[in-house]
Amino acid sequence: TQSTRPQRLLGAVQKNATRGDPRSVVQAIDQFCRQKEWAMNVGDEKGCILDSVVSEVNPATVLELGTYCGYSTVRIASLLPPHAKLITLEFNPDFAAIARQVIAWAGLEDKVHLIEGASGDWIPKMTEQFGVKTFDLVFLDHWKDRYLPDTMLMEECGLLRKGSILLADNVICPGTPDYLEYVRSSPRYESQYFKSHLEYTKVEDGLEKSVFLG
């Protein structure tokens, strides 16, 4: 039977990356996506911006919405201080199964909690299920029309504190116009746009970093 793109991406990791070496996992995926098959990872260019924000925030608690194959999960988790926790939500069980193996190959399973399910269902359960009070950093990379409703949901559930950082992928391509309008016009956020390109292409895209002001 035919393999899927995520399965072929995992094969490239297992063939070309060193177990326990997150950077080699990231490099193997980027090489696969540049040379073999495009895939919707945040990629190397936007990934460097993600790395700099993670390093600056030095978060103890991170929420990632949209795991896909675990590329950004590995980038983030490899930069976390000891005892920090990354919770990542993936809706698609096939993607989640691949992501678990990519995260394990990088040796980061102890820092990552991958949950299979929809963001709208799980955000209200974060505190009771995982004892998380607030998130220091949220990386939004799931359905583009869920960025705004899920941000409002996180506010309502008290999961954001003064200084919590939201970092959103794809705010230009595919685009999240309602989310951008909200975080850029709301007095409760201080927003900044990091211009970049859609992963592995010359098409414009970017990350929007928004600080919740409480």
Ligand X SMILES: Nc1ncnc2c1ncn2CCOCCNC(=O)c1cc(-c2ccc(F)cc2)cc(O)c1O
**Residue 141 near Mg ion by CB under 5 A:** yes
From the list 199, 205, 208, 209, the catalytic residue is: 199
Question: Is 116 an active-site residue?
Answer: no
Which residue do the tokens 């990356």 mark?
17
Question: Is 109 an active-site residue?
Answer: no
Residue 210 has φ and ψ, to the nearest 5°, of -130, 125
**Residue 205 near Mg ion by CB under 5 A:** no
Spatial CA neighbour of 86 closest among 22, 32, 12 = 22
Question: Is 92 an active-site residue?
Answer: no
Question: Is 170 an active-site residue?
Answer: yes
- For the chain, counts of helices (H) and of strands (E): 9, 7
CA separation for the pair 29, 38 (Å, rounded): 10
* Contact (CB, 8 A) for 96 and 68: no
From the list 136, 169, 205, 208, the catalytic residue is: 169
Lay out the site mask for Mg ion across 169-198 (x = CB under 5 A, - = otherwise): xx----------------------------
CA 11 to chain centre: 21
Per CB under 6 A, residues contacting ligand X are 40, 65-66, 68, 89-92, 118-119, 141-143, 146, 169-170, 173-174, 198-199
From the list 111, 170, 205, 208, the catalytic residue is: 170
Least CB distance to ligand X at residue 162 (A): 26
Residues interacting with Mg ion, by CB under 5 A?
A: 141, 169-170
